Amino acid sequence: MTSRRDFFIQAGMVALGASAISRVGAASLPELVVSSSAKTAPPVLPTSGRPFHPVVTLNGWSLPWRMNQGVKEFHLVAEPVVRELAAGMKANLWGYNGQSPGPTIEVVEGDRVRIFVTNRLSEATSIHWHGQRLPNGMDGVSGLTQPAIAAGKTYVYEFIAKRAGTFMYHPHADEMVQMAMGMYGFWVTHPKDTNFMRVDRDFVFLLNNFDIEPGSATPKVNTMLDFNLWGFNSRVFPGIDSLHVRQGDRVRLRVGNLTMTNHPIHLHGHDFVVTGTDGGWTPPASRWPEVTVDIGVGQMRAIEFDATELGDWSLHCHKSHHTMNAMGHQVPTMIGVDQRGIAEKISRLIPDYMAMGERGMGEMTEMDMPLPDNTLPMMTGQGPYGSVAMGGMFTVLKVRREQKPGDYSDPGWYRHPSGTQAWEWKGSLPEPVTSESAGGQSMPTERAPGAGNLKARKPSGHDGHH
Ligand SMILES: [Cu+2]
């Protein structure tokens, strides 16, 4: 299994000899290309087959193919992988070709596509080509349209990519477990006409969720709703790369949702239109401007905008608990509660005890709280002006005048021209008139003198269970 031919196709990608997969029929299998990198690979122009404008997979890459007598051949291997979710945390996932998510597959409308799928998992799997028009027997639903692919076996899928658009692939066998473990990937079928809906930059990513206990590395696979890590392409902020574009670029973002809940994806500073769904391109007359698009479970949306506004613009899910990482314990709302007296008493018993959250949770990003190994802070990420206090599904769109066409490198933080940034008011302030009656007194901005004299009431002792 270790007979790797160690040559790099590009950063982080390794082509394995077909013999590493199977001795039987090895000659007919396309080379297996794997990647161990979680970096965003720059787009690769096609060197065989029909021409197209490649997409950029956020924190991912596109799978090379070989042309075999006019058929575009890919090789996917389902296998256990280790994915760094962000610096400081690695997860034991299942994925394809070394990564979760698997590599993006890019083909052109009308291509005949043959995909070899090798199963290196400990249980059976299959791949469903979500959204494709194809012969029923290629739909990848184990038990219904094919036998499941047993551990160690390789199956072949073959169909014509009939419709240009945005698709996903994922298992249709022990689906809840395999998707909870990170098995999915993106698929783009480019239009045959390379000028059709041409954009300057075309980014793709999947939304995903995991439930990984702080201090552990393997997702809990029986979780149905209470996931604690929310990601773009199996990365969580601040591990998600930012998106770098040139001012004036026409930008497309294609987002697929393979989590168990919906995600209102929100872009700052621009408005956009939804130009594509799972079912195809939207008719132009049906489009209306938005700044947030809700992406339901199992759905995909392509959105487009002109990147006219310079700056560092947030791009994130608008469910605020999806822009946080796992909490180590249940944290109650403590805003407005003066915990000082209690904390003093508890710290006599537990020297490290720390009262949390009485002024909001933002202060927690400034504390160096001890975390279990392999655990990310709940809200983090350093910006040029301090903590961004975010996690999960959050990244930044960087629009720059100087960004060259085809350059996807990070231009650094935006430098705001003078007079265009919020500033601190240092003049006099009028007395607030509403705070007395509006509950302001329960949210002190400073500790009131004497507030520490909290009376602790003893439990009344009527539980008779001893
Ligand atoms: Cu969300």
**Higher pLDDT among residues 435 and 200, named by residue:** 200
Smallest Cα–Cα separation from 155: which of 185, 112, 118, 125?
Answer: 118
What's the per-residue H, E or C state across 314-368? EEEECCHHHHCCCCCCCCCCCCCCCCHHHHHHHHHHCCCCCCCCECECHHHHCCC
Q: Within 10 Å of residue 362's Cβ, how many Cβ atoms? A: 11
pLDDT band at 298 (very low <50, low <70, confident <90, very high): very high
171-175, long-range: CB within 8 Å, 24+ apart, which pairs? 171/78, 171/125, 171/126, 171/127, 171/128, 172/126, 172/127, 172/128, 172/139, 172/140, 172/141, 172/142, 173/123, 173/124, 173/125, 173/126, 173/142, 173/143, 173/148, 173/149, 174/123, 174/124, 174/125
Share of the chain above pLDDT 70, in %: 77
Domains in the chain, CATH or no CATH each: 13-315 (2.60.40.420)
Ligand 1 centre to CA of 363 (Å) is 23
* Residue 22 pLDDT exceeds 70: no
Ligand 1 centre to CA of 210 (Å) is 12
* Residue 397 pLDDT exceeds 80: yes
Q: Tell me the average pLDDT of the chain.
A: 85
Ligand 1 centre to CA of 394 (Å) is 10
Where is average pLDDT lowest: 24-33, 56-65, 121-130, 233-242? Answer: 24-33
Ligand 1 centre to CA of 425 (Å) is 35
pLDDT value at residue 462:
45
Task: Please tell me which of 21-25, 75-79, 445-449 the model is most confident about, judged by mean pLDDT.
Answer: 75-79
Ligand 1 centre to CA of 302 (Å) is 17
pLDDT value at residue 234:
96
pLDDT band at 337 (very low <50, low <70, confident <90, very high): low
CA torsion sign, 102 to 107 to 110 to 116? negative
pLDDT value at residue 236:
95
Q: With b meaning 16 or more CB within 10 Å and e meaning fewer, what string describes 65-102?
A: beeeeeebbbbbbbbebebbbbeebebebbbbbbbbbb
Ligand 1 centre to CA of 128 (Å) is 24
pLDDT value at residue 296:
97
pLDDT value at residue 427:
93
pLDDT band at 28 (very low <50, low <70, confident <90, very high): confident
Residues 6+ positions from 404 with CB-CB distance below 8 Å: 246
CA torsion sign, 387 to 388 to 389 to 392? negative
Ligand 1 centre to CA of 249 (Å) is 27
Tell me: the pLDDT tens digits for 93-132? 999 999 999 999 999 999 999 999 999 999 999 999 999 9
pLDDT value at residue 414:
97
pLDDT band at 378 (very low <50, low <70, confident <90, very high): confident
pLDDT value at residue 154:
97
* Residue 160 pLDDT exceeds 90: yes
**pTM to 2 decimal places:** 0.83
pLDDT value at residue 338:
65
pLDDT value at residue 65:
96
pLDDT value at residue 248:
98
* Interval 220-227 mean pLDDT: 88
pLDDT value at residue 456:
46
pLDDT band at 369 (very low <50, low <70, confident <90, very high): low
Ligand 1 centre to CA of 78 (Å) is 27
Ligand 1 centre to CA of 133 (Å) is 29
SS3 content of the chain, % helix, strand, coil (to 5): 10, 35, 60
* Residue 153 pLDDT exceeds 70: yes
Ligand 1 centre to CA of 265 (Å) is 7
pLDDT value at residue 195:
97
Ligand 1 centre to CA of 291 (Å) is 15
pLDDT value at residue 42:
93
Tell me: the pLDDT tens digits for 171-216? 999 988 999 999 999 999 999 999 999 999 999 999 999 999 888 8
Ligand 1 centre to CA of 264 (Å) is 6
* Interval 342-365 mean pLDDT: 62
Ligand 1 centre to CA of 263 (Å) is 4
Please, which residues have CB less than 5 A from ligand 1, an ion?
263, 317, 319, 322
pLDDT value at residue 224:
86
pLDDT value at residue 437:
57
Tell me: the pLDDT tens digits for 400-419? 999 999 999 999 999 999 99
Ligand 1 centre to CA of 168 (Å) is 19
* Residue 301 pLDDT exceeds 80: yes
Ligand 1 centre to CA of 112 (Å) is 36
CB 181 within 8 A of CB 93: yes
